Amino acid sequence: MNLLLKCLYIFIFSNSFLMHPVHVSVTNMEYQPEKDNISLSFKIFTDDFQILFSHLYNIKIDFNENGNYSLYQEVIDNYFAEHFKVLFKDKELVLKNTGIKSNFEATWFFYDCAVSEIEGNLIVKNTLLLDLYPDQKNLLIFKNGKLEKGYQFNIKNNEYIIISDEF
């Protein structure tokens, strides 16, 4: 009986590192006036993204080194275009994929948006993974030069106006 309890404890303890009880993504958004763009990097738990694509599209994406994610690049790009929008002067900026990097725990998705200047407000809509997890939190860190500001998106609040006077 003692051996059974030890085995059960080891099983539960070791599996706790494989699961994460918090559903969160982090987006870094940086305005780069010298490049006339906004660079975006999205950090999403790999297993959450895989579950999402299995759930929505019945697709099994492998983000390993020799994975098959490149086969689904268009579907991935369409998902981001639908669930992360940046509007400037009532015009939606186009997300251009610049890469993907993954490890066992998280996957980073990199995008750029062409914009020559930001005079006025940006509207950011972020509904990433909200169609999978109702408790999903999407954090955004907006950077312009040395100034940074953070925003938290969720099921009830999935849109923010970034006011240019604040930076």
Surface-to-core class of residue 85, CB atoms within 10 Å of its CB (0-12 exposed, 13-18 middle, 19+ buried): middle
Tens digits of per-residue pLDDT, 151-164?
999 999 999 998 86
**Residues 36-47, mean pLDDT to the nearest whole number:** 95
159 pairs with which residues across the strands?
A: 125
CA separation for the pair 31, 39 (Å, rounded): 7
Q: How high is the pLDDT of residue 6?
A: 44
Span of 2-6, 91-95, 126-130 with lowest mean pLDDT: 2-6
Q: Which residue has the higher pLDDT, 140 or 61?
A: 140
- Phi and psi torsions of 104, nearest 5°: -60, -40
Q: pTM of the predicted model, to two decimals?
A: 0.84
Q: What is the pLDDT of residues 100-142, one digit of tens each?
A: 999 879 999 999 999 877 777 899 999 999 999 999 999 999 9
How confident is the model over 9-36, as pLDDT tens digits? 444 444 444 456 789 999 999 999 889 8
